[in-house]
Structure formats: C-alpha cells, structure tokens
C-alpha cells in the first residue's frame, strides 16, 4: 500500500488542482473563445458535475452508508441504483467535470491538465484502494457490480 492511498480527501485534491490550473492558466497563451460561449460551456459542464455529485451523495444517503472517502471499510452497502448504474464513482466524475468547467472558463490549454491529473490521481490513490476494501467487504456481489458498471463513464 502506498502512503498516499486513502489519505487526501478528493475535494482537497480537486481544490489544489484548481489552484494549480489557475496558475498554469496565467502562464500559457489563452484559447480565444467569445466570453458568452466560454461562460455558457463552463456553466453547463459545471452543472453536470454538480448533478453527478449531488446524485451520488443522495444515493449514499438513501442507502444509509458513509460518504467518507477515506474510510471505505465503514461502507454499509454497495449502492447500485440511480446514478450508480451509470458510473461507480459519480462524485469523482462530478469533481472531474467541475475541474473541466474551470479549465474552460480559464481558456487555457494548460489548465486542461488539471482534470487529467485528477482522474489519474484519484484512480490510483483513491478508487483502486476503495475497490480493494469493498471487494474484501462484499465479495462476489461487488465483483459482479465491478463487471457491470464502468469506473468512470
């Protein structure tokens, strides 16, 4: 197990990347888009991200299971309904979309590295350890879920 696994809350990772994206966005030439197009696109992408986040949190609440990403061992049940039929990680999808919206708003090609780094980091240090913990807790029922629903989209 690596020292970073299940140690940094995913919203903190997203926030750190958002700040880094802002810094990188100032270094690179901007992609010229009309402000109305840029703001509309960023708003729509962010709304989609918030929708994924909210749907994931609501589904966990209905199932009465933990939303704490640092303690997958405290999971009471595997949620497979609602948005969890589309993606196994809607809250992480939501955060990635919000970072993508931020990159669009910044109009910087360099800022697009933020969502990519988020997906790579979260997959390695958050999702894979979560999957190991849930497989240990729920066995074949979780294995069936892994086989039937994608990790991202």
Residue 150 has pLDDT above 80, yes or no: yes
Between these two residues, 99 and 32, which has the higher pLDDT value?
99
- What is the mean predicted confidence (pLDDT) over 32-57? 96
Residue 28 has pLDDT above 80, yes or no: no
> What's the pLDDT band for 26 if we cut at 50, 70, 90?
confident
How many Å apart are CA 95 and CA 118, to the nearest integer? Answer: 9
Residue 148 has pLDDT above 80, yes or no: yes
Placement of tokens 């294995």 in the chain: 143
The confidence score (pLDDT) of residue 103 equals: 96
Residue 25 has pLDDT above 90, yes or no: no
> What's the pLDDT band for 1 if we cut at 50, 70, 90?
low
Least confident stretch, 24-33, 112-121, 134-143: 24-33
How many Å apart are CA 28 and CA 113, to the nearest integer? Answer: 12
Q: Are 98 and 43 in contact (CB under 8 A)?
A: no
How many Å apart are CA 41 and CA 79, to the nearest integer? Answer: 31
Cβ-based neighbours of 12, under 8 Å, separated by 6 or more: none
If one counts every other C-beta atom within 10 angstroms of the C-beta of residue 111, the result is 28
The confidence score (pLDDT) of residue 5 equals: 96
């Amino acid at each position: 197990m690596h020292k970073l696994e299940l140690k940094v809350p995913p919203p903190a990772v997203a926030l750190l990347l958002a700040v880094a994206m802002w810094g990188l966005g100032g270094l690179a030439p901007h992609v010229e888009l009309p402000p109305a197009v840029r703001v509309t696109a960023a708003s729509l992408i962010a709304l989609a991200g918030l929708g994924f986040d909210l749907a994931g949190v609501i589904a966990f609440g209905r199932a009465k299971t933990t939303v704490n990403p640092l303690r997958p061992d405290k999971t009471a049940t595997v949620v497979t309904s609602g948005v969890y039929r589309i993606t196994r990680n809607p809250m992480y999808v939501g955060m990635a979309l919000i970072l993508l919206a931020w990159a669009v708003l910044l109009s910087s090609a360099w800022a697009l590295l933020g969502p990519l780094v988020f997906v790579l980091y979260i997959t390695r240090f958050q999702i894979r350890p979560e999957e190991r913990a849930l497989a240990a807790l729920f066995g074949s029922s979780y294995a069936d879920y892994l086989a039937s629903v994608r990790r991202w989209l």
